Amino acid sequence: MKVACLQLAPEVGQVQQNIQRAEAILSNTRIPADLDWLVLPELAFSGYNFHSLEEIRPFLEPTTAGISTQWATQVAQHYNCHVTIGYPEITTPAINPSDTQTHYNSTVTVSPQGVILHNYRKSFLYYTDETWASEGPASNSHNLSNASSPDPPFFAGELGTLGKVTLGICMDINPYKFTSPWSNYEFASLAQFSQSPLICISMAWLCHLTPTELIQDPGQPDIATVAYWVERFQPLVEAKEEKPVYVVLANRCGMEKGVCYAGSSTVIKIEKGIVSLYETAGKNEEKCLVVDLAERPKFQVRSGR
């Protein structure tokens, strides 16, 4: 299986420019004819750092029917691969227009034929999301017992020919609201319980580097961030399963209103308790990272513990 992460630096509210950026990156990349999955970041075309509902309102897209979904459909058919992209969702009232509309931080996944397979709504919101988005529908079942509840807060299920997949968006891999115990590992626990061989996270993950630090060695990953992501999958490492689990982490890069994003999109393999890393994008480079999961990963990650 071949997967790709399109790491780009969208600017808040510049939808057309952001689309052009994504297309320029794709046209500079040799996309294999047998690519299975192209993954874009969280809120890839709207940008991420909105401070209120009023500010994001002009960019909200109707459920699986806005510009991001249209783009994903065309690109999926063009490259004959699945496409997952993050977008700011507004629901369309089912019965009459006075029904309340809800807003979600979502991803849509489209099949190579351009069929919409799944709309996933972020469950664990980051502070920025809380200003405009609602939690994904099942986020009230976020404690450890969720793994066996019929209605888990994250998506784990069949996704077209990709097979069984667990999907999340950025903060979903953190402890709920940063207040639940670190060791609950809500997201990794569901992934483990559902036995998905493939896990995919769309992200707009921030970093603690200063703008000056971020622009130095842009092609180098932010190791501290990658190490943190790996740590959040510890239950899968400790399970020491024979069958490998692949984790695709598709982050954005760049800056918005002084906020720096960590880039460093990466694809990881967890097998028999060993974590290895195929490839990592730089912390501040726009790039489409293509990884063949059948190849040997380049690096082995050792735990410092």
Catalytic annotation on 42?
yes
Decide if residue 85 touches ligand GLN (CB under 6 A): no
Query: By the 8 A CB rule, do 147 and 196 touch?
Result: no
How far apart (Å, rounded) are the C-alpha atoms in residues 166 and 66? 24
CB of 204 to ligand GLN, least distance (A): 4
> Binding pattern to ligand GLN, positions 91-130, x when CB under 6 A?
-----------------------------------x----
101: enclosing H helix or E strand: none
How far apart (Å, rounded) are the C-alpha atoms in residues 165 and 182? 23
**Helix axes 67-79 and 15-27, enclosed angle (nearest 10):** 10
Decide if residue 155 touches ligand GLN (CB under 6 A): no
- Binding segment for ligand GLN among 13-21, 61-69, 202-210, 278-286 (CB under 6 A)? 202-210
Decide if residue 236 touches ligand GLN (CB under 6 A): no
18: enclosing H helix or E strand: helix 15-27
Decide if residue 204 touches ligand GLN (CB under 6 A): yes
CB of 172 to ligand GLN, least distance (A): 8
Query: By the 8 A CB rule, do 285 and 9 touch?
Result: no
How far apart (Å, rounded) are the C-alpha atoms in residues 154 and 165? 11
> 2, 5, 42, 286: which is the annotated catalytic residue?
42
Residues belonging to the active site: 42, 122, 170
Q: What does the binding site for ligand GLN look like in residue numbers (CB under 6 A)?
A: 42, 126, 170-171, 174, 204-206
